[in-house]
Amino acid sequence: MATHILPTYARFDLAFERGEGCALFTADGRRYLDFTSGIAVNALGHAHPHLVAALGEQAAKLWHVSNIYNIPGQERLAARLCANSFADLVFFTNSGAEAVECAIKMARKFFAHRGQPQRHRLIAFEGAFHGRTLATIAAAGQQKYLDGFAPSMPGFDHVPFGDIDAARAAIGEETAGFIIEPVQGEGGVRPAPAGFLKALRAAADEHGLLLVLDEVQCGMGRTGQLFAHQRDGVTPDIMALAKGIGGGFPLGACLASAEAASGMAAGSHGSTYGGNPLAMAVGNAVLDIMLEKGFLERVNRAATLLRQKLAAVQDHAPGVIEEVRGEGLLLGLKCRVPNTDLVKALHGHGLLTVGAGDNVVRLLPPLIVSDEEISEAADKIAAAAATLVPAGMSGASGS
């Protein structure tokens, strides 16, 4: 089939017409259980009535006005995000990469504003993913994303994820801070080791540096806390959010303490669409649900159940699944077969998942997933795993 789409995506031959809760439907009516959630985006599932109503109401009133005017929905969403986080100030974007870009610019500006423009380098971590813009591919430092796009933007140093000695050793005269995902998503669902964020915070405090978190994937309830770093009891200076924050509407945000944001005066940054009324209506509606009493407790209960079920599946298919890892409803199955084989086999059983680095299959169900849907997914994974031949084994492992 001739396509006029730039061939940058390796797509599956699947198209969906509508969604409802944790299910997606093809035009010919086939149902798939969605444990991808648009890669951690559809945090409240598909066609959530409260989100649909919020978007519809706003669409009938006002779609867009420029940021040269006050936008009341921004004031409200920013105030609510700040009331529920470390932050004092918020900049709204349309995507995760833009939220990370804002964080990088803010960190550089912080030191420039204080007369230390030489402090412009961020220490980042191997296996990271921060987006696909020129700055964010340089920040992550992964060769597969940098290939062919030289020259790479300067200003980033890379050390092994979880290695505090290497992180401290990388601090120099030009260092502005650290940038890290509390749980690496694309890199293979790798939570930072216990105590690592705290150790980075301590190193940052000792040297007067900034701690920048990329919670674009792991934030907004995904790990069972509103923000993943809350588990570690650390306070960042700057944090990038996106994905789940808009529940499917393109929205991102860069949150910061007043001090970290002190360089960002009028005219220093901007976005045409960032924080427009449609996005703000949906963002506020997402928060309505996530801040409801019991929402995060329910996420934690669902996560515990899913993890138990996956452990049982692994027990029965150790030749296919090597490890279950992750946090909350950001879980990964480290595979002994190519992860793409398992993803494809799961399509055959009506379950949508997504690959990640380190040969992992990521499970990212909507945060509203039910116990029944968790059981259904686990059964499908067990059934799919039974059809796969583990590496090094000659016979079929199951059926």
Ligand X SMILES: *Cc1c(COP(=O)(O)O)cnc(C)c1O
- Residues of this chain that bind ligand X (CB under 6 A): 95-97, 100, 129-131, 181, 185-186, 214, 216-217, 242
In the bound state with ligand X, the residue whose beta carbon lies nearer, of 95 and 276, is 95
Q: Which is nearer to ligand X, 97 or 369 (CB)?
A: 97
- C-beta closer to ligand X: residue 314 or 353: 353
CB of 39 to ligand X, least distance (A): 6
Q: How far is the CB of 125 from ligand X (least distance, A)?
A: 11
Closest CA to 23 of 46, 41, 42: 46
Torsion on CA atoms 318, 321, 325, 331, rounded to nearest 10: -140
Measured from the CB atom, the residue of 19 and 246 that comes closer to ligand X is 246
Min separation Cβ 193 and ligand X, Å: 18
Q: How far is the CB of 175 from ligand X (least distance, A)?
A: 21
Residue whose entry in the numeric block shows the structure tokens 């945060």: 367
Q: What is the number of the residue whose Cβ is closest to ligand X?
A: 96
Q: Is 336 left (phi over 0), alpha (psi -120 to 50) or beta?
A: alpha
Cβ of residue 132: shortest distance to ligand X, in angstroms? 6
Judged by beta carbon, residue 269 or residue 349, the one nearer ligand X is 269
User: Please, what is the minimum distance in Å from the beta carbon of residue 208 to ligand X?
Assistant: 26
Nearer to ligand X, 246 or 390 (CB): 246
